[in-house]
Chain A
Amino acid sequence: MTNLIKRKKAERRFQLYGIFAVSLSLLFVLTLIVNIFSSGIGGFYKTSFLMEIHFDQKLLKLEDNPSSEQIEDASFRKLISYNFKENFSQYSKDEIKQIKKLFYRKIDKETQSYLLKNPQYLNQKVELLFTASTDIDQIHKGNFNRNIPEKQRSINNFQLGIYDQFIETGKVKKVFNKRYFISGDSRDPESAGVASSVMGSVFTILICFLLSFPIAIFASIYLEEFAKSGKVTDLIEININNLAAVPSIIFGLLGLGILLNFFGLPRSTSLVGGMVLSFMTLPTIIVACRSSLRAVPPSIREGALALGATKNQVVFHHVLPLAMPGTLTGTIIGLARAVGETAPLLMIGMVAFIMNVPSTPLEPAVGMPAQIYLWSESAERGFIEKTSSAIILLLIFLIVVNFVSVYFRKKYEKKW
């Protein structure tokens, strides 16, 4: 009897191990996602200060009704320092310098763009929003503990006092960070954005799709419908299985050795990135396409053949369209994996500092995951948040893509 109790206990224990393993795995997913989202969601917002600016015509050396070119040529440095002196007249010169450090260092450019958009501001006093410096931005969002000793932080006690004053007078605002979505990389976390890397990834994936999708479909059709079993066919099968298991960094070495060094294609471009990723995606799509071709019942083929269609007509007019939903699902999964792939991009130089948003696949570009890698290596605190925000965008994209593929499968999948 005791033996039975023991065995029952062992049974319960074993089941508990299982529950423990599953819940721990689920906990990992939860931790990862909560952590990334909580640290990155702030990156879509930025801290800004309200400040009154007097657009003095004389300080800007502008004529009446200046043209946009004239405003672009004007120097706003003097205007800014004059306004700081006016607004903080009770402080010494040195202190004003410290106050200025609470703002983004390109405050003159920001003022300039305000005037460009609203020429009527000239000679007026206007209260405008200015981006805060990344240090104060991080303190405001609570990512940085302000209570550590003064020597260990970049913001000193005086500056913190001014910042508290701003808060009391309601001059601190949290605004949507539009710049994050429309600008390229930058040395300053305040103005860095994901636009160039998003464009780079779009081009890369487009090239990857254009190359791998047709080739994979043709290859699968050949292997599934036409090839006679023989040594060559076996060799191709073994190769496809092997390619699916080759580490991604090896594909990067292939791109570097063959595409860049041997064929002399331009370095750091989405063209090469897309080609390398297409080598990786090819096996995934082939496997998916072949299994969907196999799933098409022979009765379809025989019916078409009986009506006098040639073998090619059977395959291209009847079998392939029926195998398309499954193939597309596999393609989407393969491309989603390619979007997140970083290591091959490192090998072919798609990790450069790119400020301009590329407009063709032949321009130097950086991929989204490579941008994440670049930012995460950066020492500046503000970039950590930017990295998490970029990861959020990437994850949201991947989740959407996966839902689309599941939807496709549910909607078009046929059970024969």
Chain B
Amino acid sequence: MLYPVLFLLLLSVVGFYLNKNKSVYLSKNQKLASLPAYYGYLAFLYIFVPAIIIWLGLLIGKSFILQNYLILTLGDSLSIMNSDEINLFMSKVKNLSLGISFGNETDLEKFAAEKIISFDKIFSLLTYLVLTLSSILAFLIARKKVIPNFKSQRTVEKIVNRFIQICSLIAILITLGIFLSLVFETLNFFSYVNPLHFLFGLNWSPNKAFVIDSAETIDKDILRDAFGIIPLLGGTLLIAFLAMIVAIPLGLMSAIYLAEYAPKKIRDFSKPVIEILAGIPTVVYGFFAALVVAPKIVMLGKSMGFEVSSESALAAGLVMGVMIIPFVSSLSDDVINAVPQSLRDGSYALGATKSETIIKVILPSALPGIIGSFLLAISRAIGETMIVVMAASLQANLTINPLEPATTITTQIVTALTGDTEFDNPKTLVAFALGLTLFFITLFLNYFALKIVKKYREIYD
């Protein structure tokens, strides 16, 4: 699939050298408007840019062309199928052409698969042909431009500038892609389930939808009670709250101690070591939570006479809290360090002790920034996936008791989309609605956090 790109690169490099050599030759007798290399770059860009656009177009258009080609060749036999059957037929035939066979294919499907194989061959041949032709054409144009008074450097720079401008737009494209894909599938989901029932429903049991999806029409009355997001939101907030109970005191106190008290040696050692916690992959925390922390909590609970679930919110929350400590501590550290020394000196001059200075002067003046860092940490906790997928429960449970099992939005997104991914049933589509909710929650938190932090910075800078 990627060979055409390499092929194009090769052609472009050849074009570069041909043009460059010609201009080097020319420059022996007369002065060119630009350095010889720029005539080479011109050829490279002229060949590469249009050809790669053509290639991308062919790549995207391929499946469409293939479908029409098959309908043309198989004509009659496909005309009796409806669109769903055609889609099924297509995916089966495509698998067959890749050599994935389930042994139950009809002759028609085998025939179509052979057609696809021959089509693939012709198509790739055609691709190379088109690419070569466009490259030759482009090269001829670029070749014409190797004349003394053509300012190729200016043209090359214009193209390059346009290109890097497009690169910077990719950030917008990604955001747009996230938004569109989420919104599109969410609207699809809302055609099954009323948005109000989704946002305010108190009951989460998506398996109800799974039981009835074999029936032709889905009974909306059953769906009404199956996709309520409130229990998930409750579980998410409960676990995030538990995480913050661990992370905020530990993170903040560590930051204060390291910034104000610790000797340089201890600070230089402790800061990077605590930051290791932020670099450990979350799947490792999840493993740790599920296999080490959760059984310990169950054991501890038993010895104290509590009934603790093995998938309690507590285990996931505690481990998540440990993960978040470095976020809180390093962000708070930045903010505390940004408080001007004059405030400290003033406080000391009035006879305050160090701790009094910290509590009554530094923290209040750093407060907006610290709150901003808490918000960022909360948003991190809400969006965290692997720890809760591995350690939290799958069962929705609207509770504030940390010893009981609880589930989260992210856990349910993962359960909805792993396994079967047919996109015609609310059980899988709900993942996108949950994703959109999550996206908005984190966006909101981050927006506020950054706004607070920014506002605070303006005061002292």
Give the interface of A toward B (CB within 8 A): 7-8, 10-11, 13-15, 17-22, 24-26, 28-29, 32, 35-36, 214-215, 218-219, 221-223, 226-227, 235-236, 239-243, 245-251, 253-254, 256-258, 261-264, 279, 282-283, 286, 310-312, 336-337, 339-343, 346-347, 349, 351, 362, 369-370, 372-373, 376-377, 384, 387-388, 391, 394-395, 398, 402
In the complex, which residues of chain B have a beta carbon less than 8 angstroms from the beta carbon of A26? 270, 273-274
CB distance from A405 to the nearest CB of B (A): 11
In the complex, which residues of chain B have a beta carbon less than 8 angstroms from the beta carbon of A15? 257, 261, 354-355
Question: Given the complex of chains A and B, what is the CA–CA distance between A143 and B370 in angstroms?
Answer: 44
- Lowest 5 A-B CB distances belong to which pairs? A247-B383, A340-B281, A18-B257, A257-B181, A21-B253
B284 and A242 contact, CB distance less than 8 A: no
Question: Given the complex of chains A and B, what is the CA–CA distance between A218 and B1 in angstroms?
Answer: 25
Which of A218, A235, A250, A341: most chain B Cβ within 10 A?
Answer: A250
CB distance from A363 to the nearest CB of B (A): 11
A369 and B281 contact, CB distance less than 8 A: yes
Question: Given the complex of chains A and B, what is the CA–CA distance between A247 and B282 in angstroms?
Answer: 12
A340 and B153 contact, CB distance less than 8 A: no
A235 and B172 contact, CB distance less than 8 A: yes
A253 and B182 contact, CB distance less than 8 A: yes
Question: Given the complex of chains A and B, what is the CA–CA distance between A384 and B185 in angstroms?
Answer: 37
Which of B174, B251, B276, B439: most chain A Cβ within 10 A?
Answer: B174
Of B47-55, B124-132, B159-167, B337-345, the segment with at least 4 beta carbons within 8 Å of chain A is B159-167
Question: Given the complex of chains A and B, what is the CA–CA distance between A347 and B450 in angstroms?
Answer: 29
Question: Given the complex of chains A and B, what is the CA–CA distance between A283 and B175 in angstroms?
Answer: 12
Beyond A11-B353, A22-B254, list 18 extra A-B contacts (CB 8 Å).
A17-B257, A24-B250, A25-B250, A25-B270, A25-B274, A32-B277, A36-B284, A221-B164, A250-B438, A253-B413, A253-B435, A258-B180, A282-B170, A340-B280, A376-B290, A376-B390, A387-B287, A398-B279
In the complex, which residues of chain A have a beta carbon less than 8 angstroms from the beta carbon of B184? 257
Question: Given the complex of chains A and B, what is the CA–CA distance between A254 and B185 in angstroms?
Answer: 11
A257 and B182 contact, Cβ closer than 8 Å, known pairs A15-B261, A219-B164: yes
B383 and A249 contact, CB distance less than 8 A: yes
B185 and A257 contact, CB distance less than 8 A: yes
CB-CB nearest in chain B for A33? B276
Question: Given the complex of chains A and B, what is the CA–CA distance between A128 and B423 in angstroms?
Answer: 54
CB distance from A125 to the nearest CB of B (A): 44
B172 and A236 contact, CB distance less than 8 A: yes
Q: List 11 A-B contacts (CB under 8 A).
A: A21-B251, A22-B253, A29-B276, A36-B288, A219-B171, A222-B164, A222-B167, A251-B178, A254-B174, A286-B171, A312-B161
CB distance from A351 to the nearest CB of B (A): 7
Chain B interface size band reads 35 or more
B172 and A7 contact, CB distance less than 8 A: no
A395 and B277 contact, Cβ closer than 8 Å, known pairs A226-B161, A254-B178: no
CB-CB nearest in chain A for B287? A376
A247 and B167 contact, CB distance less than 8 A: no
Task: List which B390-420 residues lie within 8 A (CB) of chain A.
Answer: 390, 410, 413-414, 417-418
In the complex, which residues of chain B have a beta carbon less than 8 angstroms from the beta carbon of A372? 283-284, 287
In the complex, which residues of chain A have a beta carbon less than 8 angstroms from the beta carbon of B379? 245
In the complex, which residues of chain B have a beta carbon less than 8 angstroms from the beta carbon of A310? 153, 157
A21 and B250 contact, Cβ closer than 8 Å, known pairs A340-B283, A342-B283: yes
B435 and A250 contact, CB distance less than 8 A: yes
B431 and A219 contact, CB distance less than 8 A: no
Give the interface of B toward A (CB within 8 A): 1, 60, 63, 153, 157, 160-161, 163-165, 167-172, 174-175, 177-178, 180-182, 184-185, 249-254, 256-258, 261-262, 266, 270, 273-274, 276-277, 279-284, 286-288, 290-292, 322, 325, 329, 353-356, 358-359, 376, 379, 382-386, 389-390, 410, 413-414, 417-418, 421, 423, 431-432, 435, 438-439, 442-443, 446, 450
CB distance from B153 to the nearest CB of A (A): 7
Contact of B171 among A243, A251, A254 (CB under 8 A): A243
A18 and B354 contact, CB distance less than 8 A: no
B171 and A282 contact, CB distance less than 8 A: yes
Question: Given the complex of chains A and B, what is the CA–CA distance between A351 and B261 in angstroms?
Answer: 47
CB distance from A342 to the nearest CB of B (A): 4
B284 and A391 contact, CB distance less than 8 A: yes
CB distance from A300 to the nearest CB of B (A): 19
B171 and A35 contact, CB distance less than 8 A: no
Contact of B177 among A248, A254, A340 (CB under 8 A): A254
B280 and A243 contact, CB distance less than 8 A: no
In the complex, which residues of chain B have a beta carbon less than 8 angstroms from the beta carbon of A342? 281-283, 385-386
Question: Given the complex of chains A and B, what is the CA–CA distance between A372 and B282 in angstroms?
Answer: 11
A227 and B168 contact, CB distance less than 8 A: yes
B286 and A373 contact, CB distance less than 8 A: yes
In the complex, which residues of chain B have a beta carbon less than 8 angstroms from the beta carbon of A223? 168
B439 and A246 contact, CB distance less than 8 A: yes
Contact of A19 among B257, B281, B325 (CB under 8 A): B257
A21 and B257 contact, CB distance less than 8 A: yes
In the complex, which residues of chain A have a beta carbon less than 8 angstroms from the beta carbon of B163? 218
In the complex, which residues of chain A have a beta carbon less than 8 angstroms from the beta carbon of B167? 214-215, 218-219, 222
B414 and A346 contact, CB distance less than 8 A: yes
A239 and B172 contact, Cβ closer than 8 Å, known pairs A25-B325, A250-B438, A395-B284: yes
A10 and B431 contact, CB distance less than 8 A: no
In the complex, which residues of chain A have a beta carbon less than 8 angstroms from the beta carbon of B414? 249, 343, 346-347
Question: Given the complex of chains A and B, what is the CA–CA distance between A21 and B413 in angstroms?
Answer: 35
CB distance from A269 to the nearest CB of B (A): 10
A11 and B442 contact, CB distance less than 8 A: no
Contact of B261 among A7, A18, A219 (CB under 8 A): A18
Question: Given the complex of chains A and B, what is the CA–CA distance between A176 and B383 in angstroms?
Answer: 40
Question: Given the complex of chains A and B, what is the CA–CA distance between A29 and B275 in angstroms?
Answer: 9
Question: Given the complex of chains A and B, what is the CA–CA distance between A382 and B283 in angstroms?
Answer: 19
In the complex, which residues of chain B have a beta carbon less than 8 angstroms from the beta carbon of A387? 287
Which of B171, B274, B353, B442: most chain A Cβ within 10 A?
Answer: B171
A219 and B168 contact, CB distance less than 8 A: yes
In the complex, which residues of chain B have a beta carbon less than 8 angstroms from the beta carbon of A377? 390
CB distance from B3 to the nearest CB of A (A): 11
B385 and A249 contact, CB distance less than 8 A: yes
B281 and A341 contact, CB distance less than 8 A: yes
B181 and A254 contact, CB distance less than 8 A: yes
Question: Given the complex of chains A and B, what is the CA–CA distance between A17 and B287 in angstroms?
Answer: 30
In the complex, which residues of chain B have a beta carbon less than 8 angstroms from the beta carbon of A340? 279-284
CB-CB nearest in chain B for A344? B385
